Amino acid sequence: MKTKKIIHAAGKFAEPFRVEKGKRFRLKDVDPGDTLEFKDADKPRAKEALAVGVQALAELQDRLYAQDKWAVLLIFQAMDAAGKDGAIKHVMSGINPQGCQVFSFKAPSAEDLDHDYLWRCMKVLPNRGHIGIFNRSYYEETLVVRVHPEFLAKQKLPSELVTKKIWKERFEDIRNFEQYLTRNGVVVRKFFLHVSKKEQKRRFLERIDNAEKNWKFSANDAAEREHWDDYMEAYEEMIQSTASEEAPWYVVPADNKWFTRLVVAAAVIETLASLGLNYPEVGEAKIKELAAAKRALLKK
Protein backbone atom coordinates (compact mmCIF):
# COMPACT_ATOMS: atom_id res chain seq x y z
CA MET A 1 0.00 0.00 0.00
CA LYS A 2 1.24 3.51 -0.77
CA THR A 3 2.32 5.63 2.20
CA LYS A 4 -0.35 8.26 1.51
CA LYS A 5 -3.06 5.62 1.63
CA ILE A 6 -1.72 4.22 4.90
CA ILE A 7 -1.67 7.66 6.50
CA HIS A 8 -5.23 8.27 5.33
CA ALA A 9 -6.35 4.91 6.78
CA ALA A 10 -4.49 5.67 10.02
CA GLY A 11 -6.51 8.86 10.42
CA LYS A 12 -9.73 6.89 10.04
CA PHE A 13 -8.85 4.63 12.97
CA ALA A 14 -7.19 7.13 15.27
CA GLU A 15 -9.38 10.23 14.93
CA PRO A 16 -12.59 8.85 16.49
CA PHE A 17 -10.73 8.20 19.73
CA ARG A 18 -8.75 11.40 19.99
CA VAL A 19 -9.66 13.77 22.83
CA GLU A 20 -8.61 17.36 22.49
CA LYS A 21 -9.05 20.36 24.70
CA GLY A 22 -12.42 22.01 24.85
CA LYS A 23 -14.88 19.17 24.31
CA ARG A 24 -16.66 17.89 27.40
CA PHE A 25 -15.22 14.43 27.87
CA ARG A 26 -17.29 11.58 29.31
CA LEU A 27 -15.74 8.16 29.73
CA LYS A 28 -19.10 6.50 29.36
CA ASP A 29 -19.31 7.81 25.79
CA VAL A 30 -16.47 5.48 24.81
CA ASP A 31 -17.49 1.83 24.51
CA PRO A 32 -14.57 -0.46 25.52
CA GLY A 33 -15.95 -3.04 23.07
CA ASP A 34 -16.02 -0.66 20.08
CA THR A 35 -14.31 -1.98 16.94
CA LEU A 36 -15.64 0.58 14.44
CA GLU A 37 -16.66 -1.22 11.26
CA PHE A 38 -14.68 -4.37 12.09
CA LYS A 39 -16.59 -7.46 13.19
CA ASP A 40 -15.03 -10.40 14.99
CA ALA A 41 -14.84 -12.21 11.65
CA ASP A 42 -12.72 -9.36 10.28
CA LYS A 43 -9.96 -10.08 12.77
CA PRO A 44 -7.58 -11.47 10.14
CA ARG A 45 -8.12 -8.34 8.03
CA ALA A 46 -7.41 -6.17 11.07
CA LYS A 47 -4.23 -8.12 11.78
CA GLU A 48 -3.12 -7.63 8.19
CA ALA A 49 -3.77 -3.90 8.51
CA LEU A 50 -1.65 -3.87 11.66
CA ALA A 51 1.21 -5.60 9.86
CA VAL A 52 1.08 -2.97 7.10
CA GLY A 53 1.00 -0.26 9.77
CA VAL A 54 3.98 -1.71 11.62
CA GLN A 55 5.98 -1.68 8.38
CA ALA A 56 5.03 1.95 7.75
CA LEU A 57 6.00 2.83 11.30
CA ALA A 58 9.44 1.29 10.84
CA GLU A 59 10.02 3.47 7.78
CA LEU A 60 8.87 6.61 9.55
CA GLN A 61 11.02 5.83 12.57
CA ASP A 62 14.07 5.43 10.36
CA ARG A 63 13.56 9.00 9.13
CA LEU A 64 12.91 10.31 12.64
CA TYR A 65 16.21 8.81 13.72
CA ALA A 66 18.14 10.07 10.69
CA GLN A 67 16.73 13.58 11.01
CA ASP A 68 17.56 13.65 14.73
CA LYS A 69 15.41 16.69 15.55
CA TRP A 70 12.12 15.56 16.99
CA ALA A 71 11.65 13.23 19.94
CA VAL A 72 8.37 11.38 20.40
CA LEU A 73 6.98 10.50 23.82
CA LEU A 74 4.18 7.93 23.94
CA ILE A 75 2.45 7.59 27.29
CA PHE A 76 0.38 4.52 28.15
CA GLN A 77 -2.07 4.48 31.03
CA ALA A 78 -4.66 1.85 31.85
CA MET A 79 -6.23 -0.33 34.49
CA ASP A 80 -4.43 -3.65 35.04
CA ALA A 81 -4.78 -6.27 32.29
CA ALA A 82 -6.00 -3.69 29.76
CA GLY A 83 -3.18 -4.70 27.41
CA LYS A 84 -0.54 -1.99 27.73
CA ASP A 85 2.35 -4.42 27.48
CA GLY A 86 0.89 -6.24 24.48
CA ALA A 87 0.07 -3.01 22.65
CA ILE A 88 3.63 -1.74 23.17
CA LYS A 89 5.10 -5.08 22.07
CA HIS A 90 3.03 -5.41 18.91
CA VAL A 91 2.93 -1.82 17.72
CA MET A 92 6.67 -1.36 18.21
CA SER A 93 7.61 -4.78 16.85
CA GLY A 94 9.07 -3.49 13.58
CA ILE A 95 11.00 -0.64 15.11
CA ASN A 96 14.78 -0.48 15.31
CA PRO A 97 15.47 -1.01 19.05
CA GLN A 98 18.31 1.50 18.81
CA GLY A 99 15.83 4.31 18.32
CA CYS A 100 13.36 3.30 20.98
CA GLN A 101 13.37 3.55 24.78
CA VAL A 102 10.76 1.99 27.08
CA PHE A 103 10.38 2.83 30.76
CA SER A 104 7.91 1.29 33.20
CA PHE A 105 6.98 3.34 36.21
CA LYS A 106 6.21 1.36 39.34
CA ALA A 107 5.66 2.57 42.88
CA PRO A 108 8.29 5.28 43.54
CA SER A 109 11.55 4.39 45.30
CA ALA A 110 12.89 6.17 48.40
CA GLU A 111 15.12 8.24 46.11
CA ASP A 112 12.15 9.15 43.89
CA LEU A 113 10.15 10.24 46.93
CA ASP A 114 13.00 12.51 47.92
CA HIS A 115 12.27 14.58 44.80
CA ASP A 116 9.37 16.26 43.03
CA TYR A 117 7.20 13.74 41.15
CA LEU A 118 8.32 14.69 37.66
CA TRP A 119 11.96 14.09 38.52
CA ARG A 120 12.06 10.39 37.78
CA CYS A 121 10.26 10.89 34.48
CA MET A 122 12.38 13.81 33.34
CA LYS A 123 15.52 11.75 33.75
CA VAL A 124 14.35 9.31 31.11
CA LEU A 125 12.76 11.55 28.50
CA PRO A 126 13.53 10.38 24.95
CA ASN A 127 16.57 11.65 23.11
CA ARG A 128 16.04 13.53 19.86
CA GLY A 129 15.45 11.12 17.01
CA HIS A 130 14.03 8.55 19.43
CA ILE A 131 10.64 7.23 20.40
CA GLY A 132 10.26 7.06 24.17
CA ILE A 133 7.55 4.96 25.73
CA PHE A 134 6.27 5.48 29.24
CA ASN A 135 4.46 2.39 30.51
CA ARG A 136 2.56 4.32 33.20
CA SER A 137 3.88 7.78 33.93
CA TYR A 138 3.54 10.93 36.00
CA TYR A 139 -0.19 10.59 35.38
CA GLU A 140 -0.21 7.99 38.20
CA GLU A 141 0.18 11.04 40.43
CA THR A 142 -3.42 11.93 39.68
CA LEU A 143 -4.70 8.33 39.60
CA VAL A 144 -3.40 5.75 42.08
CA VAL A 145 -2.15 8.55 44.34
CA ARG A 146 -5.59 10.16 44.26
CA VAL A 147 -7.47 6.93 44.85
CA HIS A 148 -5.11 6.00 47.70
CA PRO A 149 -4.45 9.06 49.88
CA GLU A 150 -1.85 7.07 51.85
CA PHE A 151 0.48 7.34 48.82
CA LEU A 152 0.17 11.11 48.86
CA ALA A 153 0.98 11.09 52.58
CA LYS A 154 4.26 9.29 51.76
CA GLN A 155 5.37 12.04 49.40
CA LYS A 156 6.96 14.15 52.13
CA LEU A 157 5.31 17.32 50.84
CA PRO A 158 5.13 20.32 53.19
CA SER A 159 1.63 20.02 54.65
CA GLU A 160 0.64 23.58 53.71
CA LEU A 161 1.03 22.58 50.06
CA VAL A 162 -1.41 19.71 50.31
CA THR A 163 -4.78 21.35 49.89
CA LYS A 164 -8.06 20.51 48.18
CA LYS A 165 -6.65 22.15 45.07
CA ILE A 166 -3.81 19.67 44.72
CA TRP A 167 -5.31 17.69 41.78
CA LYS A 168 -6.20 20.83 39.84
CA GLU A 169 -2.67 22.07 40.49
CA ARG A 170 -1.18 18.81 39.28
CA PHE A 171 -3.25 18.96 36.08
CA GLU A 172 -2.04 22.50 35.50
CA ASP A 173 1.58 21.58 36.13
CA ILE A 174 1.33 18.59 33.80
CA ARG A 175 -0.25 20.74 31.08
CA ASN A 176 2.56 23.24 31.43
CA PHE A 177 5.19 20.52 31.45
CA GLU A 178 3.81 19.01 28.26
CA GLN A 179 3.67 22.42 26.63
CA TYR A 180 7.29 22.90 27.59
CA LEU A 181 8.18 19.55 26.02
CA THR A 182 6.25 20.43 22.86
CA ARG A 183 8.09 23.73 22.57
CA ASN A 184 11.35 21.80 22.77
CA GLY A 185 10.56 19.37 19.99
CA VAL A 186 9.28 16.51 22.14
CA VAL A 187 5.98 15.38 20.64
CA VAL A 188 3.67 13.97 23.31
CA ARG A 189 0.83 11.51 22.66
CA LYS A 190 -1.13 9.86 25.46
CA PHE A 191 -3.10 6.62 25.37
CA PHE A 192 -5.69 5.43 27.84
CA LEU A 193 -6.51 1.81 27.07
CA HIS A 194 -10.12 1.62 28.17
CA VAL A 195 -11.03 -1.91 29.25
CA SER A 196 -14.39 -2.82 30.80
CA LYS A 197 -14.65 -4.17 34.34
CA LYS A 198 -16.18 -7.36 32.95
CA GLU A 199 -13.38 -8.00 30.48
CA GLN A 200 -10.78 -7.29 33.16
CA LYS A 201 -12.38 -9.99 35.31
CA ARG A 202 -12.23 -12.44 32.39
CA ARG A 203 -8.53 -11.70 31.86
CA PHE A 204 -7.72 -12.07 35.56
CA LEU A 205 -9.48 -15.46 35.60
CA GLU A 206 -7.48 -16.49 32.55
CA ARG A 207 -4.28 -15.52 34.36
CA ILE A 208 -5.31 -17.80 37.22
CA ASP A 209 -6.45 -20.72 35.07
CA ASN A 210 -3.66 -20.71 32.51
CA ALA A 211 -0.37 -21.87 34.03
CA GLU A 212 1.66 -19.87 31.52
CA LYS A 213 -0.10 -16.71 32.62
CA ASN A 214 0.07 -17.33 36.38
CA TRP A 215 3.13 -15.11 36.70
CA LYS A 216 1.11 -12.15 35.46
CA PHE A 217 -1.48 -12.42 38.19
CA SER A 218 -1.26 -10.30 41.29
CA ALA A 219 -3.84 -10.55 44.06
CA ASN A 220 -3.30 -6.86 44.62
CA ASP A 221 -4.45 -6.04 41.06
CA ALA A 222 -7.67 -7.97 41.70
CA ALA A 223 -8.18 -6.14 45.00
CA GLU A 224 -7.93 -2.79 43.17
CA ARG A 225 -11.23 -3.65 41.46
CA GLU A 226 -12.95 -2.45 44.61
CA HIS A 227 -11.85 1.05 43.67
CA TRP A 228 -12.97 0.75 40.04
CA ASP A 229 -15.44 3.65 40.14
CA ASP A 230 -12.96 5.93 41.87
CA TYR A 231 -10.40 5.14 39.18
CA MET A 232 -12.90 5.83 36.40
CA GLU A 233 -13.75 9.19 37.93
CA ALA A 234 -10.07 10.03 38.31
CA TYR A 235 -9.37 9.01 34.71
CA GLU A 236 -12.26 11.05 33.36
CA GLU A 237 -11.23 14.22 35.13
CA MET A 238 -7.58 13.68 34.28
CA ILE A 239 -8.28 13.22 30.56
CA GLN A 240 -10.64 16.18 30.45
CA SER A 241 -8.13 18.38 32.26
CA THR A 242 -4.96 17.43 30.42
CA ALA A 243 -6.10 16.85 26.84
CA SER A 244 -4.56 19.62 24.79
CA GLU A 245 -4.17 20.32 21.12
CA GLU A 246 -0.44 19.68 21.22
CA ALA A 247 -0.63 16.68 23.56
CA PRO A 248 -3.96 14.90 22.95
CA TRP A 249 -5.27 11.81 24.69
CA TYR A 250 -6.48 8.80 22.75
CA VAL A 251 -9.10 6.86 24.67
CA VAL A 252 -8.72 3.47 23.02
CA PRO A 253 -11.35 0.71 23.34
CA ALA A 254 -9.45 -2.17 24.96
CA ASP A 255 -11.84 -5.14 25.21
CA ASN A 256 -10.48 -6.47 21.91
CA LYS A 257 -6.71 -6.52 21.87
CA TRP A 258 -6.42 -6.69 18.08
CA PHE A 259 -8.45 -3.51 17.77
CA THR A 260 -6.55 -1.67 20.51
CA ARG A 261 -3.28 -2.34 18.72
CA LEU A 262 -4.64 -1.12 15.43
CA VAL A 263 -5.78 2.19 16.92
CA VAL A 264 -2.51 2.76 18.76
CA ALA A 265 -0.48 2.00 15.63
CA ALA A 266 -2.71 4.33 13.62
CA ALA A 267 -2.26 7.18 16.09
CA VAL A 268 1.51 6.78 16.11
CA ILE A 269 1.66 6.67 12.30
CA GLU A 270 -0.48 9.79 12.09
CA THR A 271 1.76 11.56 14.57
CA LEU A 272 5.01 10.69 12.82
CA ALA A 273 3.52 11.52 9.43
CA SER A 274 2.53 14.97 10.70
CA LEU A 275 6.17 15.83 11.40
CA GLY A 276 7.18 15.96 7.74
CA LEU A 277 10.13 13.65 8.37
CA ASN A 278 12.80 13.45 5.72
CA TYR A 279 16.30 12.11 5.46
CA PRO A 280 18.76 14.95 5.98
CA GLU A 281 19.84 16.51 2.69
CA VAL A 282 23.54 16.35 2.04
CA GLY A 283 25.32 19.51 0.95
CA GLU A 284 27.81 20.00 -1.86
CA ALA A 285 30.79 19.32 0.39
CA LYS A 286 29.33 15.98 1.44
CA ILE A 287 28.59 15.01 -2.17
CA LYS A 288 32.22 15.70 -3.04
CA GLU A 289 33.38 13.71 -0.04
CA LEU A 290 31.22 10.74 -1.08
CA ALA A 291 32.50 10.85 -4.65
CA ALA A 292 36.13 10.98 -3.46
CA ALA A 293 35.58 8.09 -1.06
CA LYS A 294 33.99 6.05 -3.86
CA ARG A 295 36.92 6.68 -6.18
CA ALA A 296 39.37 5.68 -3.46
CA LEU A 297 37.43 2.51 -2.66
CA LEU A 298 37.18 1.46 -6.29
CA LYS A 299 40.91 1.97 -6.88
CA LYS A 300 41.97 -0.68 -4.34
Minimum CB separation of residue 80 from Mg ion in Å reads 5
| Member of 80, 140, 141, 224 binding Mg ion (CB under 5 A) | 80
Q: Which does 151 bind (CB under 5 to 8 A by kind): Mg ion, ligand ATP, none?
A: ligand ATP
The residues binding ligand ATP (CB under 6 A) are 80, 85, 104-108, 135-136, 140-141, 144-145, 151, 218
What is the footprint of Mg ion within residues 218-247 (CB under 5 A)? 221
- Which window, 75-83, 228-236, 244-252, 263-271, contacts Mg ion (CB under 5 A)? 75-83
- Taking a C-beta distance cutoff of 8 angstroms, is the pair 76, 194 a contact? no
> Please, what's the largest Cα pairwise distance for the chain?
76
Q: Does 140 bind Mg ion (CB under 5 A)?
A: no
Measured between alpha carbons, how far is 230 from 169 in angstroms, rounded to an integer? 19
Minimum CB separation of residue 62 from ligand ATP in Å reads 29
Angle between helices 3-14 and 257-273 (to 10 degrees): 120
Measured between alpha carbons, how far is 268 from 57 in angstroms, rounded to an integer? 8
- The CA distances from residue 251 to 60, 92, 168, 204, in Å, are 23, 19, 21, 22
Q: Which does 107 bind (CB under 5 to 8 A by kind): ligand ATP, Mg ion, none?
A: ligand ATP
Measured between alpha carbons, how far is 56 from 1 in angstroms, rounded to an integer? 9
Minimum CB separation of residue 105 from ligand ATP in Å reads 5
Q: Which is nearer to ligand ATP, 107 or 291 (CB)?
A: 107
Minimum CB separation of residue 53 from ligand ATP in Å reads 23
Q: Which of 250, 231, 246 is nearest to 174 (CA)?
A: 246
Minimum CB separation of residue 272 from ligand ATP in Å reads 25
- Taking a C-beta distance cutoff of 8 angstroms, is the pair 256, 45 a contact? no
- The CA distances from residue 118 to 100, 111, 234, in Å, are 21, 13, 19
Q: Which does 145 bind (CB under 5 to 8 A by kind): Mg ion, ligand ATP, none?
A: ligand ATP
Footprint of Mg ion (CB under 5 A): 80, 221
